[in-house]
Amino acid sequence: MVDWGPVVVAVALFVLLTPGLFFQIPGTSGVVEFGNMQTSGLSIIVHGVFYFALITIFLIAIGIHVHVDE
């Protein structure tokens, strides 16, 4: 059995937390901007911290597992 849970969670969070794709914290003109397709160094750091916190919660605290038989 192969555990695909960490891979699925990591890819989903990476796509959802890409700065500027859906939202950007902090934005260039406000605290939050939606769909501006721009980024900054500070927003990359903030989104990286969010990514680390959420992946830690989902994989270690909750323990999401998706088992697939080969």
| Total domain count, the chain | 1
Is residue 59 in some structural domain?
Answer: yes
- With tokens 């796509």, the residue in question is 15
Is residue 24 in some structural domain?
Answer: yes
Report whether pLDDT(3) > 90.
no
Is residue 58 in some structural domain?
Answer: yes
Is residue 9 in some structural domain?
Answer: yes
What is the domain range of residue 47?
Answer: 2-64
Is residue 40 in some structural domain?
Answer: yes
Token pair of 48 as six digits: 């990286």
Q: What is the pLDDT of residues 20-55, one digit of tens each?
A: 888 898 888 889 889 888 888 999 999 999 999 999
Mean pLDDT of 5-18: 92
Q: In this structure, what are the phi and psi dihedrals at residue 25, rounded to the nearest 5 degrees?
A: -120, 125
pLDDT score for 27: 85
- Helices marked H in 1-70 — which ranges? 5-16, 41-56
DSSP structure class, residue 49: H
In one letter, which amino acid is 43?
S
Quote the pTM value.
Answer: 0.81
Helix axes 5-16, 41-56, angle to 10 degrees: 150
Is residue 70 in some structural domain?
Answer: no
